[in-house]
Amino acid sequence: MRYTAALFKSKVARPIPQEPVPFQEILPLKLKPAVSGKGDRTSEVCCLQEMSVMLACFKKNEFSQQLCSKEIDSFQKCYTGHLATKKVKKDKEAKGVLTPGEKQLSSKQVNTLLKKFPNFK
Amino acid sequence: MLKTVFNVIKTKHIQTNQGLQCLGPFTTQACKFSNTSQLCHSEKQTHEEKQNISKAMKAYLDRAREHDEFMNEQNQEYQLGKRHLANMMGESPETFTQHDVDNAIEYLFPSGLFEKKARPMMKPPEEVFPQRKAAEFDETGRPHHFLFYTGKASFYQVLHDTVQHIVDLNRFEDAMIRKGMRPDKDQKINLSGYQWIDKDSLEAKLVETIGDKDYESFVQAFERLCSLPYSYKVKDFIMEYRKPLMSQTKAHDAPKPQYDENGRAFVTTYECLRKSARGDVTIRSPGTGKISINGEDITYFDLLQCREQVIFPLLFTNMINKVDIEANVEGGGSSGQAGAIRWGIAWGLRSFLDQETIEKMRLAGLLTRDYRTRERKKPGQQGARRKFTWKKR
Amino acid sequence: MATIKTLFNKCQILKSKTPLLSTFIQQNGMSQYPTYYINPIYKKDALEALIKSGEDQNLKHIPTRAALNNQTCSTAHDDLVNLFVNYVMKDGLKPLARDLVAQSFESVKRLQLEKYHKCQSEEEKAKIELNPKTIFYTAINNCKPILHLTPIKRGGVRYQVPVPLTDKKSEFLSMKWLIAAAKEKDSTVRFHLQLARELIDAANNTGRVIKRKQDLHRQCEANRAYAHYRWS
Amino acid sequence: MLKTALVFVSKRKLSFSKVKYLSPTANPQPQEKIQSFRSVEHDPLKHTYNHVGQFYNISKEDRNHLFNYGGLPKTYLTQAKTFNETCVMIRQPTIDVIECLKNIDYAKPAVRFVIYGKKGSGKSLSMAHILHYANRSNFLVVHVPWVGNWMRRCQEVSNSDTKEGFINLNVDAAAWLLHFKTQNSHLLEKEDLKIAQDYVWSKREKTEKGSPLLDIVNHGINRIKFASDCVVIIADEIKKLSNSGVCKTLVAIDGFNAFFYPNTRVFTEKKEKVHPHKVVITEAFLNLTKNDWKNSAVIVTVDEIAVAEEDQISHMPRYLLGKEGFEHLDPFVPIPMENYNQKEFKSVMDYYRDRRWITPYPGQDEEVSALSANNPYNLIKVCAPL
Amino acid sequence: MILRNLDKKCLLKTLERQFANNYATVTEAAKESREEFKALNLKHVKGQVVQKRAPRKLDVLPPRSKQMATDQDWGNVWPGPRTFHPSTVPLPIRQGYVEKGAPPDKYANAELMKIPNFLHLTPPIIKRQCEALKQFCTPWPKNLNTQEKLIENFPIEVTTSNYCLSSPSIRNPLARIVTLTIKVSSLSLKGAMDKFLRLVGERYNEKTDILTIVADRCPLRKQNYEYAMYLLTAVYHESLKVEPWENLKSEADMEYYNWEKNASKKSIEQIFGKPVEEIPNSKMYAEAVSNLMNEGESDYTIAKYGEAVRTLLNLPKTA
C-alpha cells in the first residue's frame, strides 16, 4: 500500500497560516470639520397637559365648546406660543448666529464655530 | 501681491539671461517665504535698479508722452475744423460755440439713426476719447499706494476705510457706554430713499473694474457700517456711496388737464393696457359720476367683479360723484378690459388729486401697470407648466 | 463688546424688516414681478393705520404690485369671503363661484327675514341676525376644529394621533366642510340654498358641520392616549 | 250713467283710504311719519307727479284680484314675499300714462302708448301700476302678462279647425281666459256685457246672441278646444261693446313686439317655424290694438327679452316693432322707461334699509349706484348679497 | 495776401515736419538693420528665416483739407451735391458707435458716405443762389392775396412729399403718393350730390366738406397724379348721370323715407277722417316721423316723435 502525502495532509494539526487582515481606510482617519444636522430634530410633542385637560372638559360637557372656552384658550395659547418659539429658534439656527454663553448649540452654530477654529493639517 | 513679486522676479531673470529652468524652484521657494521676508526681497531688487529706469517704466513714460502728443494734435485739428465750419455756415469763428457746432453738423449731415450716439458728431477730443488712469507709481517704479499690489487699490482702500470706521465707531461706542451715554435717536441715519450705487457707477467712480463678488462684499461692509448705532457720525462717508431713489409717485408727472368747450377740465389717458385689452380713458372733472364704456354705461360689463374694478380707483379717492368717465376699450376679455380701464382712470385721476392721495393710490397698487400675461404653452408639455401624464409604457 | 452688539443688531434688522432694499429680496417663485415689489395695501383702513404708524415713509421708494382684479377698497369687499369663493370655485369658474356665494348670502337673508317677519315681539326680532356676513363669520368660526387625527406609524402599527391645528388649517377645514355639506343634498335643491341653510345652522351651533367637528373631537378624545406619539 | 258710477266708485275708495289713513294715527308710530320713501297715498287714482319716487302698497285683495295669474315679474314676486308686502314705486312714466288716460277724449279712436326701455328698467311693474289704476277706475282690462310666453314658450300647439293654415295655442289661450276672467270678474258679472251675434261651436254647442260675455269666457275655459277661437271672439265683442259705449276698455300687452318677431319657437307638426301672424290668438290682439274703435286705450310694452338673444341689439321701439309693427301702431305715444334718478334711487335704498334687506355702511349709496348704473333690476342683483 | 503767405508758411512748416519725421524713421530703421547681424543661410535651414523685404509704401499726399484756408469760399470747394469725401471736408467729424473708445473718424467711414449731406447747401450758398435766381422770377398775382381767393380760384389741392433719409437709395417709395383734396361745394353738384357722396364713400369728410383722394397704386408720382385727376373727373360725370330705371323704384328701394307715400299718413287720415292738410299739427308730426325714419332711432328723435304725437292727439305733455 502506498501512502500518499495528500491523504495525510488534512490530518495535520498545523494551523493554517492566517494572513493578517489588511486595513482598508474607507474613510479618512480624522474627524470632519463639520457636523450633520440629523440630531437637531426636536420633539414636536407639546402642550400635552393642556390638551388632556381640554379633552377631559370636552368629554364632560358633551363636546360643546362654549363651556370649555377657558381650556381651549389656554391650549391654543400654548400651541401658538410653541410655534412662535420654534420659528424663532429655527431662524436663528438657520443663520448660524452665535450667541455668547449659549450651552446648547445647533448644528449650524457648531459648524460656524468649527469653521472659525479649523484644525491644522 | 505674490503675483507682482513673481513678475519682478521674472524680469530679473530675463535681464540676467538666466535659464528658464531655475524659475520653477525659485518661485516655489518664494512662496514659502513669510510675508516680511518677501518684502525685503523685492526691495532689494528695486534698490539695485535705481540707477537706470526699468523697461516697463520707460514704456509707460513713452506711452504717456505719446498720448499727450496725440491729444494735442487732435485738439489742434478740432480748433481748425471749428473755424472751417464757422466759415461754411457763414458765421464768425470767434463766437462759434459748441452748441453752434452741433447744430451745424445736424444741419449738414442729417441722420435719422435712432441711437443718438451713433449720429455724426464733432466734439472736442476730451469728450471723444475716454479718460485714462494716471500713473500710480513714481519714476523708480515704487507705487504711490500701499494697496497697489492688490490690483484694485482704490476699491480695497474703500473697504479698508469702511472697516476702519467700524472699528472706530465700536471703540467710540464702548467709550460712550462707559460714560453711560446712549446714541442720539433723532440723528439716526435714515437710509430709506437711498440705494447703494450700482456696480457700474462704482467702477466709474474708482476707475477700476471690479467683480460681482467684490461688489457684494462692498455692499455687505457698508450695511454693516450702517447698522452701527453711531453710524450717523460717518454719514458723509456713507452718503458718498448712496444714490437717492426717485420717489415712486414722482417718477411720472401727472399731465395738466385740458379744457373742453364747456369749460370742463379733462384728461385723456391713452394706451391703457391689461392682458390683451387696450383702451383710452377720458376723465372730465366737474361731473356727476357718469361712466360710459364704449358708449354704454357700466352694464357694459356683465360681471360684478369687472364693474367693481372700474369703480375701484374712484371709490378709493372718493371721486365717485365728482368726475365723469369715458372709456373706449377693445381686445381681450371683460376682466382685461376692466383692468385696463381701472388703470386708465387711476392714471388720469392723478391730475385732479393732491400728492398725498396719489401716494396712497400707488400703495394700493392702482398706479402700477399690471403687465402679467398668460404664460405660453411649451412643446412637449400639456400647458405652460403642466406635463403630460406620465405613463410607464 | 461692541462687535457682539453689532451682531445682535444685525439679526434684529433681519427680523424687523427695515427698509434696506437688500433685505426685501425674497423668494417669489415664478412671479413676473421683481422680488422687491411689495404687495398692495388696498384697504382704506389698513392704509390709514400704516400712515398713522409712519411705516409708509419706508415704502415710499419701493414699487408696489398692481392690485389683483378681485380686490377693491369697498367696505362690502371681504377677504374671507373671497377666500371662500375660491374654495367654492371649480375649474376656474370664478364668476359662477362668486354668484353662488352671493346667492347663498341672499338666501340667508331671505330665510332670516322670513323668521324676522314671523316674530311677534320686538325683542325676538332684535335677536335675529340679518347681516349675512356676520352669519358667515360666526358659522366659519363655529366650525373650526381644534384638533385632528394624523396617522403615525410606530412599530409597524398606524396610530391615529390627535394633533393640534394651526388657525389657517382649521379655517380651511371649516370652509371645506361647509362646502361639502352644502353639496350633499338632493339634486332638486340648489347648492346656494343648501349652503345658506348650512351657514345659518352652523351660526346657531347646530347642523351637520358642527356635528362633524364634534365627531372629530370625539375621536381625538378617544385616541388621546397616543398624543405623545406626535413626531419625536 | 257710467260717469255717475265712476264717481260713486271713487267716493267709495276715498272713504276706504281714509279709514286706512286713520289707523296709523290711532296708535301713533313716529317712525312711519319720517319715512319719506313711503307714499301716504295708496290709491292709484290719486297719484300725481308729487308722489313720484315713493312706494305705495298694493293691498292683498287687489293683488290677488289683478295679478293672481301673472302680471308681476318673478324677481319682484320673491322680493315682495321677503318684504312681506307688495310695494311698487310710483314712477314718472307711469304717472304720465295715468295723466294721459285721465285726459283722453274717449269718443275718439283709441290712443296707443308704447312703453319702452332697457332691460330691467321697470316696464312691467309700471304696467302693473297702470293696471291697478285701470281696475280702480272701472276699465275693462284686457291684459296679456307676457306675449313671449306664447311665442317663445308655448304649452301646446294644434292646427286650427276654423282657419286654414293657422295654429291654435289652446292651453295658453285658456290660461289667458282665466286670467281675463279673474281680472274683470266684477265687471263681467254685470248684466250689460252681452254679445251681439250667435256663435255656433258645433252641432250641439251654440252661444246665442244676447247672452253675457262671461258665457264665452267660460266656454273657452271649459272647452279648451275652442279657447283660441273664444279669444278672437271676445276681442271682437269687446270692441263692439266699447264702440257702443257699454264699457271702457284698457288693453295692456306686455312684450307686444313678440307679435311681429318672425323667429318664434312655435312649430307645426312638420317642425316648421310658425310666423306669429299664423297664430290665431295674435289676430285677436292685433285687432284690439288697432285704432278703429272708441272708448278705449291701448298700452303695450316692447322689450328686448321678447326676441331671441342674437337680435337683442337695441331697446328702441322702431327696431323692436319692425316696419310692420310700427305701421300697425303709428301714431303711438312713446313712453321711455328710464333708470332710477337720484331721488328714486335714494328712496329705493331707504326702502331696502327699512325692510332690513341690506346692511348699511358709509358710502354705500354711491357705490351701489355706480355698480348698478341705477338700473332697477341690476340694483336688486347688486343688493342681494349685501 | 499776408494771410495767404502765412498759410504758405504753415504749409511749408508742415512739409518740413513731415520730411523730418520721414528722415527720422529711415535713420532708425537703418540703425536697427545695422545692429542686427544677418547670418548666411544658403541651405535654407528651417529655423532661420530669410527676412522678407518690406513692401515699399506708396507716398500718399496729405489730404487736401490740410491746405485749405479757414476763410475760403466753401461754395467753390463743394459746388454741387456729392457723396461725402473725407479729404475734401476739413472737419474732424466722426460717426459710429464703439462700446469702449472713440467713434470712428471720417476716413474710410462708410456710414458718413451713406447718409445724405447738405454740404452744397450751406446758408451762405443758399442766400447767394436765391439772389441769383431772383431775376428769373415773375411777381405774385396781386389779386390772389388772400387764402379764400386762392381756394376759390384753385380749389384743387395736390399734396406730395419728398423724403430725405439715410438709406442706400435716395428714392423713397412713399414719395410717389399723391393726395388730392377738394371742397365738394366748389364742384356745383346740385341734384347729384347724393350719388356723388355714395360713389365717393369714406373719402368724404362731412364736417369739413372736403373730399380726399389718395392715389398710390402707380409706381411714379406723375402717373399717380394723373390717376387722381382722372378719378375726380370720372366720379363727377358719373354722378351727374341719370339712369332710366331710376323712376321705377318701389318704396323698399327708396333711399329716404318719404312720409307722403307711406302708411303713416294714411293712418292719421283714418283717425281724423279727413285729409292731411286739414288736420292741425300734422306737419310737425310728418316731420318727426320722417326724421325718426331717416336719422335712425335715438332718444332725441323718439322724444320729438312723442311730442308730435301728443300735440296731434291733444294729450297732456310730460312733466
Nearest CA among B295, B369, B366, B371 for reference residue B327? B295
pLDDT of residue A10: 55
Please name every residue paired with D300 in a beta bridge, in sequence order, or none if there are none.
D114, D253
Stretch C110-117: mean pLDDT: 92
Q: Do B121 and E112 touch (CB under 8 A)?
A: no
Q: How confident is the model at residue C82 (pLDDT cuts 50, 70, 90)?
A: very high
B193: left (phi over 0), alpha (psi -120 to 50) or beta: left
| Alpha-carbon gap: B110 to the closest alpha carbon of chain E (Å) | 7
φ, ψ for residue B293, nearest 5 deg: -120, 120
Is the pTM here over 0.80, yes or no? no
Stretch A53-67: mean pLDDT: 87
Q: Do D357 and C109 touch (CB under 8 A)?
A: yes
Question: Would the pLDDT of B368 be above 80?
Answer: yes
Q: How confident is the model at residue B55 (pLDDT cuts 50, 70, 90)?
A: confident
CATH number for the domain formed by residue range(s) E147-242: 3.30.160.20
pLDDT of residue E16: 57
> What does the alpha-carbon distance between residue B299 and residue B291 come to, in Å, rounded to a whole number?
10
CA–centroid distance for D295 within its chain: 18
pLDDT of residue A66: 85
Better-scored residue on pLDDT, D190 or A43: D190
**pLDDT single digits (tens) E257-303:** 888 878 888 888 888 888 888 888 888 888 999 888 888 889 999 99
> What does the alpha-carbon distance between residue C181 and residue C217 come to, in Å, rounded to a whole number?
18
Nearest CA among D220, D242, D113, D111 for reference residue D171? D220
- SS3 call for D337: strand
Q: How confident is the model at residue A5 (pLDDT cuts 50, 70, 90)?
A: low
Which segment of A12-21, B141-150, E6-15 scores lowest on mean pLDDT?
Answer: E6-15
> What does the alpha-carbon distance between residue B120 and residue E117 come to, in Å, rounded to a whole number?
11
Domains, chain C, in order of start with CATH, read 2-57 (no CATH), 79-229 (1.10.455.10)
Of chain B residues 138-167, which have a CB less than 8 A from chain D?
Answer: none
Against chain C, the chains showing at least 3 CB pairs within 8 Å are A, B, D
Q: Count CA atoms closer than 13 A to B176's CA, side-chain side.
A: 13
Q: Do B307 and D375 touch (CB under 8 A)?
A: no
Q: Do E264 and D331 touch (CB under 8 A)?
A: yes
Nearest CA among D236, D109, D334 for reference residue E270? D109
Highest mean pLDDT among B226-240, C191-205, E89-103, E260-274: C191-205
- For the CA atoms of D62, D64, D70, D76, what is the dihedral angle to 10 degrees? 70
Q: Does B185 touch chain C (CB under 8 A)?
A: no
Stretch D320-334: mean pLDDT: 89
Question: Would the pLDDT of E221 be above 90?
Answer: yes
Whole-number percent of chain B with pLDDT over 90: 51
Stretch D154-165: mean pLDDT: 87
Please name every residue paired with D279 in a beta bridge, in sequence order, or none if there are none.
D167
Q: Do E93 and B93 touch (CB under 8 A)?
A: no
| Alpha-carbon gap: B287 to the closest alpha carbon of chain C (Å) | 21
Sheet strands (E) in B158-203: 194-196
Mean pLDDT estimate for chain C: 85
> What does the alpha-carbon distance between residue E80 and residue E118 come to, in Å, rounded to a whole number?
9
- For the CA atoms of B113, B115, B116, B121, what is the dihedral angle to 10 degrees? -70
Stretch B225-235: mean pLDDT: 90
Question: Would the pLDDT of B154 be above 70?
Answer: yes
Q: What is the DSSP string of B196-234?
A: E--HHHHHHHHTS---HHHHHHHHHHHHHHHTSTTGGGG
Stretch E17-25: mean pLDDT: 54
Question: Would the pLDDT of C40 be above 90?
Answer: yes
B182: left (phi over 0), alpha (psi -120 to 50) or beta: beta
> What does the alpha-carbon distance between residue A20 and residue A41 come to, in Å, rounded to a whole number?
43
Count the Cβ atoms, other than its own, within 10 Å of residue A88.
Answer: 11
Question: Would the pLDDT of B14 be above 70?
Answer: no
Which of C224, C228, C231, C232 best tests the A interface by mutation, with the highest count of A CBs <10 A? C224
| Alpha-carbon gap: D371 to the closest alpha carbon of chain B (Å) | 6
Better-scored residue on pLDDT, B35 or C194: C194
Which segment of A35-39, B193-197, D83-87 scores lowest on mean pLDDT?
Answer: A35-39
pLDDT of residue E122: 93
Determine whether E232 is exposed, middle or buried from the number of CB atoms within 10 Å of its CB (0-12, 13-18, 19+).
Answer: middle
> What does the alpha-carbon distance between residue A108 and residue D88 come to, in Å, rounded to a whole number?
75
Pairing of strands B242-244, B324-330: unpaired
Q: Do B297 and D373 touch (CB under 8 A)?
A: yes
> What does the alpha-carbon distance between residue B386 and residue E48 come to, in Å, rounded to a whole number?
69
Element (DSSP H or E) covering residue B243: strand B242-244
Q: Give domain status of residue A70, yes or no.
A: yes
A6: left (phi over 0), alpha (psi -120 to 50) or beta: alpha
Which among E262, E302, E319 has the least Cβ separation from residue D334? Answer: E302
pLDDT of residue B144: 83
Q: Do B304 and D373 touch (CB under 8 A)?
A: no
**pLDDT single digits (tens) D287-306:** 999 888 888 999 999 999 98
**pLDDT single digits (tens) C169-179:** 999 999 999 99
Q: Does B320 touch chain C (CB under 8 A)?
A: no
pLDDT of residue E85: 92
Cell of residue E200, nine digits: 365717393
Question: Residue D355: closest CA among chain C residues belongs to which residue?
Answer: C113
Question: Would the pLDDT of B2 be above 50?
Answer: no
Q: How confident is the model at residue E135 (pLDDT cuts 50, 70, 90)?
A: very high
Which of C11, C17, C20 best tests the B interface by mutation, with the highest count of B CBs <10 A? C20
Total length of chain A: 121
Question: Would the pLDDT of D10 be above 50?
Answer: no
Question: Would the pLDDT of A113 be above 90?
Answer: no
Cell of residue A96, nine digits: 448660524
pLDDT of residue C43: 92
User: Which residues of chain C have a CB within 8 Å of the CB of A98?
Assistant: 7
Which among A47, A66, A98 has the least Cβ separation from residue C164? Answer: A47
Note whether D131 and D141 are within 8 A (CB). yes
Q: Does B304 touch chain D (CB under 8 A)?
A: yes
Residue type, D372: S
Q: What is the DSSP string of chain A?
A: -PPPHHHHHTT--PPP-PPPPPP--SS-SS--SS--SGGGPPP----HHHHHHHHHHHHHTTT-SGGGHHHHHHHHHHHHHHHHHHHHHHHHHHHTPPPTT-SS--HHHHHHHHHHSPPP-
User: Which residues of chain D have a CB within 8 Å of the CB of C132?
Assistant: 385
CA–centroid distance for E218 within its chain: 17
Better-scored residue on pLDDT, C34 or E103: E103
Touching pair A, E by Cβ (3+ pairs < 8 Å)? no
| Alpha-carbon gap: B273 to the closest alpha carbon of chain D (Å) | 22
- The count of domains in chain A is 1
ipTM over 0.90: no
pLDDT of residue E2: 43
Of chain C residues 56-95, which have a CB less than 8 A from chain B?
Answer: 56-67, 69-74, 77, 94-95
Cell of residue C188, nine digits: 332638486
Count the Cβ atoms, other than its own, within 10 Å of residue B287.
Answer: 19
| Alpha-carbon gap: B285 to the closest alpha carbon of chain D (Å) | 17
Note whether D59 and D42 are within 8 A (CB). yes
pLDDT of residue B190: 79
The position carrying cell 507682482 is B4
Stretch C192-199: mean pLDDT: 94
Q: Give domain status of residue A108, yes or no.
A: no
pLDDT of residue B33: 35
Nearest CA among C159, C161, C164 for reference residue C146? C164
| Alpha-carbon gap: D325 to the closest alpha carbon of chain B (Å) | 27
Stretch E133-159: mean pLDDT: 90
How many helices and strands in chain E, by DSSP H and E?
10, 4
Note whether B343 and B279 are within 8 A (CB). no
Better-scored residue on pLDDT, D12 or D133: D133
Query: In CATH terms, is domain B258-363 a member of 3.30.230.10?
Result: yes
Stretch E22-48: mean pLDDT: 63
Question: Would the pLDDT of D13 be above 60?
Answer: no
In sequence order, the 6+-apart residues with CB closer than 8 A to the CB of E32 are none
Q: Do C106 and D361 touch (CB under 8 A)?
A: no
User: Which residues of chain A have a CB within 8 Å of the CB of C7?
Assistant: 97-98
The position carrying cell 316693432 is D321
Question: Would the pLDDT of E158 be above 90?
Answer: yes
Question: Would the pLDDT of B13 be above 60?
Answer: no
Task: Write b or e for each residue in C167-187: b if 16 or more Cβ atoms lie within 10 A of its Cβ, otherwise e.
Answer: eeebbebbbebbbebbeeeee
Q: How confident is the model at residue B29 (pLDDT cuts 50, 70, 90)?
A: very low
- SS3 call for B330: strand
Total length of chain B: 393
User: Which residues of chain C have a CB within 8 Å of the CB of A52?
Assistant: 224, 227
Domain that holds residue A55: 46-80
Determine whether D346 is exposed, middle or buried from the number of CB atoms within 10 Å of its CB (0-12, 13-18, 19+).
Answer: middle
Please name every residue paired with C38 in a beta bridge, in sequence order, or none if there are none.
C64
Highest mean pLDDT among C155-159, E11-15, E37-41, E300-304: E300-304
**pLDDT single digits (tens) D26-48:** 344 444 455 788 888 888 899 99
Q: Give domain status of residue A65, yes or no.
A: yes
Q: How confident is the model at residue C5 (pLDDT cuts 50, 70, 90)?
A: very low
User: Which residues of chain B have a CB within 8 Å of the CB of D363?
Assistant: 315, 318
Question: Would the pLDDT of B15 be above 50?
Answer: no
Q: How confident is the model at residue E18 (pLDDT cuts 50, 70, 90)?
A: low
Q: Do A51 and C214 touch (CB under 8 A)?
A: no
Domain boundary assignment for chain B: 2-52, 56-128, 153-244, 258-363
Better-scored residue on pLDDT, B141 or D193: D193
Against chain A, the chains showing at least 3 CB pairs within 8 Å are C
Count the Cβ atoms, other than its own, within 10 Å of residue B16.
Answer: 7
> What does the alpha-carbon distance between residue D212 and residue B243 come to, in Å, rounded to a whole number?
99
Domain boundary assignment for chain E: 74-137, 147-242, 251-313
Please name every residue paired with B325 in a beta bridge, in sequence order, or none if there are none.
B283, B291
